[in-house]
Chains A and B, each alone.
Chain A
Amino acid sequence: MSAAATAGLRGRQRALGSPSPAFRALQYGFLALALVFALGPIGWGLSTSFKTPAEINALPPTWIPHDVTIANYVESVLSERFLRHVFNTVLVVLACLALALGLSAHAAYAAARFAFRGKGLILMLMWATIMIPGVAVIVPLYLVAIWTSLYDTLWALVLVYSAWLVPTLVWLLRGFVAAIPAELEEAARIDGCSRLTAFYRITLPLLRPGLLAGSVLVFTLVWNEFLIAYSLVLSNESRLVQVGIYFFITEVGIKWGPLTAAAMGAVVPVLAAYAFLQRAFIQGLSAGAVKG
């Protein structure tokens, strides 16, 4: 490749001494190996998901399917079972968006705008909960969920996920609130708004880039979470996507075609969310959170 030549053309690169061709080759070799490691499992799963059962069990294994089929996707991703789990997950995401983002926006406002007694302690305690590993609380949460009759309902999941998200979201949103000039709210309050009304009318709309970024966090946590969704929900009707895939193995049996298809189907929304987050961030930054 003309990589060394391209690099040599760049002024700054030259100013810092352009690396020798051997060093460049070493870098590309390393990158190639890393790419194989990173994409190997995904590529193999993707390949399997488009194969016929005969080709999945064929020896030697093939990386590119001979007869491309979407039967695996029809059987898994389009099955009533999988769609049901997707629907459940979306419900939980929506409820968590309302609860976690709502609570966090208020808390972040308090953290960014006020000085008050106990602020440091409360925030520190809240942020300390990030360090509590999920596996350390699943057993008591399971028992509490049974005693409160929340076991096997989506509400249990909404409450736990929201509580796990709030500390991170407060951290994230606090920065966004701090970036909004307090004078805007003060002007609104001089015009007769209460503090709360000023928050809803002035601050919250300007907080939209932060809320968008936060909603991607909410989505990826809920979509990818397994431990709580497994521990607090029993029946097939209330399962979320990841747990559904886990039980696909034990209940339907290991059928690698549909299984890899379901896995691929479950990865795509997260990729979309990530792409969206990147765009939202760039737009949010370039548009400027505050136009004045």
Chain B
Amino acid sequence: MTPRIESGEIVYSIMVAATAFRDGLATIAPWRLGAGERMAPYMFLLPAFALVSAVSFLPLGFAVVQSFFRSDYLELGRFIGISNYGDYLYGRGGPGFVWNSLVYCGATVAIALPLGFLLALVLNENLPLRGTLRTLLILPWLVSNLIGALLWWWLGNPQYSPVIHALRQVGLSAPDMVTNKHAAMTAVVLCNAWASYPLVMVFVLAALQTVPKELLESAQIDGASGLQRFRHVTFPIVSNTTMVALVLTTLHAFKNVEIILLMTGGGPVGATETMAIRVFQEGFQFFRMGVASSGAVVVFLVNVLFTLAFIRVLRGESST
């Protein structure tokens, strides 16, 4: 059993280089690597854990600390209690942006979930060109959020857009997303739903593969209609996966910055300002780091609460 080396495989040659390095280390400093069987698993696991902690836990802890102090750009000032949180929630136009976050997440899910779910059901059947259709319908998932936002922005351009032109042709006036609040929210929600539905589709499609054919057939023999087969056989099997897709879609919408930043910048007059975009703006446009950190803590806590609630729901469902 010898390792096969094929030219041009970067990953593999990096691994080979690492092997040579570690083998060399083993000869020079054997005590470091042969530190006994008991320590071996930690030697394998801890470097990865150290990096993850340093980049994820430490900054999070720092954000918590900073959120209670006045900050002057890079300098930590004096302790000011929760007034940064007050600034985050009540500063600049009040807490309406919390509502915006709810609308943004809710509307995204309301479009992406049924769309992805129905597409999965249709694509699970024996259609001609099924593989091609799947690939085409997954495309929006592969486009980065920034580029997706760019494309939707261009498609919603009031002057040259084919969609708005067509609407005008049939006598409808399409409001401009730069000035109209509802048009702005609609535009960012459509873009986000467009980017999100393929995840639901892929998840549900995968779950549908686990529905036993025999079960469907025997249900049919027992006289169940198509709708009944779906309700009593298919849906119970895929509902857990759908729940996971729902949570992932909501969390993605909740923490997403790119789409709103590029399409509306939170405007007009804060109509599309969400909790995540406000953190970004406080930090990188107004450089109020303390306020941004308190927002970051709030966003994180909402994230955690949502995840925990979802785990409880999942556990509850699987136990019944």
Q: Do A and B interact with each other, yes or no?
A: yes
**Beta-carbon contact of B144 and A122 below 8 Å:** no
118-136 of chain A: CB within 8 A of chain B: 119, 122, 125-126, 129, 131-136
| A31-60 Cβ-contact flags toward B at 8 Å (1 or 0) | 100110111111011001000000011111
Contacts of B226 in A (CB 8 A): 17, 19
Complex Cα distance, B162 from A44, in Å, reads 8
**Beta-carbon contact of B148 and A41 below 8 Å:** yes
Contacts of A31 in B (CB 8 A): 119, 122, 127, 133
Q: Which residue on chain A has the smallest CB distance to residue B201?
A: A34
| A164-196 Cβ-contact flags toward B at 8 Å (1 or 0) | 101100100000000000001000100000111
Complex Cα distance, B1 from A184, in Å, reads 9
**Beta-carbon contact of A224 and B48 below 8 Å:** no
Knowing A12-B126, A35-B137, A143-B289, the reply to whether A132 touches B220 (Cβ < 8 A) is: no
Contacts of B80 in A (CB 8 A): none
160-211 of chain B: CB within 8 A of chain A: 160-163, 165, 191, 194
**Beta-carbon contact of A139 and B293 below 8 Å:** yes
Knowing A94-B10, A97-B10, the reply to whether A107 touches B147 (Cβ < 8 A) is: no
Q: Is B228 an interface residue (CB 8 A)?
A: no
Knowing A35-B137, A42-B139, the reply to whether A110 touches B45 (Cβ < 8 A) is: yes
| A7-39 Cβ-contact flags toward B at 8 Å (1 or 0) | 100101101110100000001001100110111
Q: Which residue on chain A has the smallest CB distance to residue B118?
A: A30
Q: Is A137 an interface residue (CB 8 A)?
A: yes
Contacts of B56 in A (CB 8 A): 129, 132, 137, 163-164
| B224-251 Cβ-contact flags toward A at 8 Å (1 or 0) | 0010000000000000000000000001
Contacts of A57 in B (CB 8 A): 159-160
**Beta-carbon contact of B51 and A136 below 8 Å:** no
Q: Interface-forming stretch among A66-74, A79-87, A197-205, A281-289?
A: A197-205
Q: A3: shortest Cβ distance to chain B, in Å?
A: 6
Complex Cα distance, B139 from A271, in Å, reads 8
Complex Cα distance, B162 from A242, in Å, reads 26
Q: Is B29 an interface residue (CB 8 A)?
A: no
**Beta-carbon contact of B49 and A163 below 8 Å:** no
Complex Cα distance, B40 from A106, in Å, reads 11
**Beta-carbon contact of B26 and A263 below 8 Å:** no
**Beta-carbon contact of A131 and B304 below 8 Å:** yes
Knowing A103-B48, A140-B63, A270-B143, the reply to whether A59 touches B258 (Cβ < 8 A) is: no
Number of interface residues of A (CB under 8 A): 113
**Beta-carbon contact of B220 and A226 below 8 Å:** no
Q: Is B82 an interface residue (CB 8 A)?
A: no
Interface of A is mostly: helix
Q: Which of B26, B58, B122, B142 makes the CB contact (< 8 A) with A144?
A: B58
Knowing A59-B160, A59-B165, A274-B142, the reply to whether A200 touches B63 (Cβ < 8 A) is: no
Q: Is B74 an interface residue (CB 8 A)?
A: yes
**Beta-carbon contact of A136 and B303 below 8 Å:** yes
Q: Is B283 an interface residue (CB 8 A)?
A: yes
Complex Cα distance, B164 from A40, in Å, reads 13
Q: Is B216 an interface residue (CB 8 A)?
A: yes
Complex Cα distance, B133 from A107, in Å, reads 38
**Beta-carbon contact of B122 and A27 below 8 Å:** yes
**Beta-carbon contact of A126 and B52 below 8 Å:** yes
Complex Cα distance, B80 from A4, in Å, reads 70
111-150 of chain B: CB within 8 A of chain A: 115, 118-119, 122, 125-128, 133, 136-140, 142-148, 150
Q: B170: shortest Cβ distance to chain A, in Å?
A: 13
Q: Known A-B contacts: A31-B122, A197-B26, A200-B22. Give 11 more (CB < 8 A).
A: A35-B136, A42-B139, A44-B151, A56-B160, A61-B162, A140-B60, A146-B74, A166-B48, A166-B52, A167-B52, A271-B139
Subset of 26 A-B contacts with CB under 8 Å: A7-B126, A27-B122, A40-B163, A42-B151, A44-B151, A57-B160, A60-B165, A61-B160, A101-B15, A114-B41, A125-B49, A129-B56, A133-B255, A135-B276, A136-B63, A143-B289, A163-B55, A166-B51, A194-B26, A194-B34, A204-B19, A224-B146, A226-B257, A245-B147, A263-B147, A274-B142
A residues with CB within 8 A of B: 3, 6-7, 10, 12-13, 15-17, 19, 27, 30-31, 34-35, 37-42, 44-45, 48, 56-61, 63, 94, 97-99, 101-107, 109-111, 113-114, 116, 119, 122, 125-126, 129, 131-144, 146, 159-160, 162-164, 166-167, 170, 184, 188, 194-197, 199-202, 204-205, 208, 211-212, 215, 220, 223-227, 230-231, 242, 245-246, 249, 256, 259-260, 263, 266-267, 270-271, 274
The list of the 9 closest CB pairs from A to B, nearest first, reads: A163-B55, A133-B255, A110-B44, A140-B59, A224-B144, A114-B41, A107-B48, A41-B151, A103-B48
